[in-house]
Structure 1
């Protein structure tokens, strides 16, 4: 099994964040989260762990400039003939708390993968909110996000906590311990997907 990792949005180049928006408010202590930096920090932790475990992966957007969605999808689709899945890593905004995992509309292998990610999130953060939609008998939320509808393999997008929620932002998203735990449930889920979905 091959994991296609996508750290959403751009990073920071010479002190300049590369993506308009996609950042927390500036908190009273002057701190601020840039989502693309957070996404890369989590994906880099996952990459390090997968390398140590010998699990195959591709980081499809390693650059620090903001790679277009079209390019991300084109890069992912090069591997469509291999046993693989696509994982886009994000943090959330818009007023709320907790974790969400998204798939495209319909019932396919992506839903089973999303279910595993939701369960592993709850195992690592048992006291935090899982924002689920059980109307179709699974926990993922369905949206027609470009990277989910145009990829040719099972694809999910994770939204870990809310960067405009001061408590979650400052105590989880901006801390080493919080980022380590977020990477850990992603890693735990990847290993379960490898075993339970791809049978390897």
Structure 2
């Protein structure tokens, strides 16, 4: 079993954020979240946890530069012959609150993984909204996002709270404790999914 961890967007090189947009507003205290930095923090935390559990993983985009979606998918599909799960980590924006998990269109093998992420989010954050689409009987939202549509293995994309929601951004996305809790439920979801494949 192999977990493919993808931190969405670019990081920070020599103090310069590598992805235009994809950042929070600048808050009154001068602080600001860069989504790619947050995504990498979560993925790096997950890689440490999976290593401790001896669950094999690959970092799909370890660079700080913004790796193209095509390159991310090409790297992932090198592992098409191994049982694997692709996990793309993001922070949301656009007005709202809570957590969303996406999988590819229709009923696919990705749905079981998305279900694990949704349930573990609710377990970790019972007072925060799970933004689910229950019309097809499961929690995930189906989208044709490039990395979901073109990867050759089950794949999910998590949107972890809203960086343009000041409370969520400053209390969860920008604090070590909030980030640790996000790593916690991602870890539990992956462990559940792996156990279900045995």
Shorter-chain TM range is over 0.9
Counterpart position of 1:122 = 122
Deviation at 1:108, TM superposition (A): 1.1
Counterpart position of 2:85 = 85
Deviation at 1:104, TM superposition (A): 1.0
Q: Report the TM-score when normalising by structure 2.
A: 0.99
- Structure 1 segment 1-200 matched on structure 2, within 5 A: 1-196=1-196, 198-199=197-198
Q: What SS does the aligned partner of 2:102 have?
A: strand
* Distance in 1 of aligned mates of 2:181 and 2:141: 22
Deviation at 1:24, TM superposition (A): 0.2
Q: Deviations over 1:37-93 (max 9, x none)?
A: 000000010001111110000001000000000000000000011000100000000
Deviation at 1:151, TM superposition (A): 0.5
* Distance in 2 of aligned mates of 1:107 and 1:50: 28
* Distance in 1 of aligned mates of 2:136 and 2:162: 25
* Distance in 2 of aligned mates of 1:125 and 1:45: 19
* Distance in 1 of aligned mates of 2:161 and 2:39: 12
**Runs of 5+ unmatched residues, structure 1:** none
Q: What SS does the aligned partner of 1:130 have?
A: coil
Deviation at 1:31, TM superposition (A): 0.5
Q: What SS does the aligned partner of 2:134 have?
A: coil
Q: Deviations over 1:23-42 (max 9, x none)?
A: 00001110000000000000
Runs of 4+ in 1 over 2 A off after TM superposition: none
Q: What SS does the aligned partner of 1:4 have?
A: strand
